[in-house]
Structure 1
Amino acid sequence: MEQQQLKRCPIGVQTFEKVIEGNYLYIDKTEYIYRMAHGASNYYFLSRPRRFGKSLLVSTLHSYFAGKKELFRGLAIEKLENEWTEYPVLHFDMSRAKHVDKETLESMLSFQLSGYEQVYG
């Protein structure tokens, strides 16, 4: 009888792409992402405590809206989604924006936005 190998826990891995490509343990909650994307509400407030998967959730949303279908192979959303439309995704890293004044924050956002202007025009 063949013994099934346990997957490694993604300690310190915060991106969906790295979790999937690295064959780490992933608890499939992609059905909820599909429901959010196709639900009736225009707004969602997602509150989670520290170290509770916010970055991984945002990264999963990024991969989904970027149309990276291959990453979702074998997950619930693969059976739910029919179109896999690719959208431009703007991800603003706010981790360095803690305790900064208004001008610094605007400068940081402008810098990040300029990168997207280069990509998307």
Structure 2
Amino acid sequence: MNEYVKTPSELADEARQAGRDAMSAVQGQAAEALDTAKGVAADAKDVAQDATATGKAYARGAVEAASEKLGVLQDKVAAAQESCTRYIAQEPVKATMMAVAGGALLTGLLMAAVRGRRG
């Protein structure tokens, strides 16, 4: 039998080459992993920016809707105030009598509530 036996230097050269090949493979995998991580980070940043923009738009819409409702309420209060002022100017005696009757009614209700708590 004719077996070829490698010398220690040949074995060392092969080991060095295997080490270089392994290092090259690891570096390739590391570069691919880094690229993937960068892509995931960019996607996460995009999602966060979209969520922020959506939240801001929702908040703006809520503020605008509340502002519109407040404006409508202010208009109704102003109209009621104007109507009351006009009625008082046209019917001062009736308006005074209604105010007195309303005050008496509220006083009676308040006194009944206070008595109900005591006994």
Tell me: higher relative CO, structure 1 or 2? Use CA pairs within 8 A at least 6 residues apart: 1
Fold shared per TM-score above 0.5 = no
User: What TM-score results when the alignment is normalised by the length of structure 2?
Assistant: 0.17
User: What TM-score results when the alignment is normalised by the length of structure 1?
Assistant: 0.17
